[in-house]
Structure 1
């Protein structure tokens, strides 16, 4: 078997059994095939990236599988209920103004001695009821601590295992809601305690004024 050189303008060609072999053309074909393969690989990578992007977007849109909203709502409603059950003097401004007009304001120094005694007894009941209300609100707030701790553990675990931005954001929002509920509990406890202390201070002031008036009336006789 012999190779016969064939004329060519730019490269040597050889005949092998009547088949023309062009090395340059072969090299170009190989290079073209390699480039085509590279393009195909690039397209495959693009498709893979797009698929991964879709997966990530799906994860970002996935809702958090846990929710503590109902627990937080129940705790807030319980605290609110305790505040609405305030004894004697409610937290409404109108009720406070009415009670002070009747029993505190000016100490009713023009009232009879029997009326002064009745007012003093009413003020004492106000103070006792307010301190009882404060203790009940504080007990309710303390009772919410266990629920808050459970919610925190649930949300922290969920945020750590979140698969997407939406889940992480939802976990963060629920943690903020829990913080708001705890601040509401703290505000309620402070308000109840402050209410009790304010009524006690008002009672002491009224009793001091009435004591002076009774002493004045005694020496006037």
Structure 2
């Protein structure tokens, strides 16, 4: 529309100029059609240049955005998460009583919690086993309570890490920074899940040790009664209440 208006204006101006009488010596031959065509060409060329400038500006902005999207997040909580997990791992490694290793645990469990006492097992040995059953249960409860205390302490650190990650995520200037902040938030969630499993493991272990102690006490009582009635090896009483362990 602008080109058409400008063209019409040029034609009108040229027509007026052509109609004005010119001195004979200053007479100049002007082709109005050629002048209009040249002007239109110049206008189109100018518009093309403007379009190219706008395109270059858009490309420059796009490159700026890409550079911003590729900018890395200068923040990492992974070492903090590993540190808190290491504390709970250490508590499990320090646990006394039955080992967490499957093979070692099977051997110890078979020795301490037999399905049936052999006639050759003395009353004194049963007393020592009962004492060890009680100690294993106590150790299991102690480990579970230590784990509970440590997890409670870790929650404070987790809350601090969460606040930092949310702040980093909200202030992220590009897609990569936002993605890295999100990944670290997922890492925090995974760490808390692992920690919860560790806590559940120690609690279930303490409960299992208590159930094993009770089962062993029942078998020990059956064997004591059998020996008291005179079947098998004679039972020699000890000043210990077996049912208290």
TM superposition score normalised by structure 1: 0.89
Query: Distance between the aligned counterparts of 2:118 and 2:51, measured in 1?
Result: 96
Of Structure 1 and Structure 2, the greater strand share is in: 1
Pairwise CA distance, 1:26: 2.7
1:124-175 Cα offsets, whole Å, 9 max, x none, are 0000000000111111111111111111111111111111111111011101
Listed as ranges, the gaps of 5+ residues in structure 1 are 1-10
Correspondence for 1:78 among 74, 77, 87:
87
Aligned to 2:50: 41
Aligned to 1:138: 148
Change (3 A) 1:194 1:188: same
**Conservation of the 8 A alpha-carbon contact between 1:61 and 1:165:** yes
Change (3 A) 1:95 1:174: same
Correspondence for 1:102 among 100, 105, 111:
111
Pairwise CA distance, 1:50: 1.1
Are 1:156 and 2:166 an aligned pair?
yes
Change (3 A) 1:115 1:132: same
Determine helix, strand or coil for the equivalent of 1:89: coil
Of structures 1 and 2, the larger Rg is shown by 2
**Conservation of the 8 A alpha-carbon contact between 1:59 and 1:163:** yes
Are 1:124 and 2:134 an aligned pair?
yes
Change (3 A) 1:203 1:165: same
Q: For this pair of structures, how many residues does the alignment match? A: 211
Query: Distance between the aligned counterparts of 1:183 and 1:102, measured in 2?
Result: 34
Determine helix, strand or coil for the equivalent of 1:108: coil
**Conservation of the 8 A alpha-carbon contact between 2:148 and 2:199:** yes
Are 1:19 and 2:35 an aligned pair?
no
Determine helix, strand or coil for the equivalent of 1:20: coil
Query: Distance between the aligned counterparts of 2:116 and 2:52, measured in 1?
Result: 90
Query: Distance between the aligned counterparts of 2:207 and 2:38, measured in 1?
Result: 96
Pairwise CA distance, 1:29: 2.3
Aligned to 2:178: 168
Pairwise CA distance, 1:31: 1.4
Correspondence for 1:31 among 16, 20, 40:
40
What is the RMSD computed on CA atoms of the aligned residues? 1.8
Query: Distance between the aligned counterparts of 1:75 and 1:108, measured in 2?
Result: 44
Correspondence for 2:228 among 190, 215, 218:
218
Query: Distance between the aligned counterparts of 2:117 and 2:214, measured in 1?
Result: 14
Determine helix, strand or coil for the equivalent of 2:76: coil
**Conservation of the 8 A alpha-carbon contact between 2:117 and 2:219:** no
**Conservation of the 8 A alpha-carbon contact between 2:117 and 2:223:** no
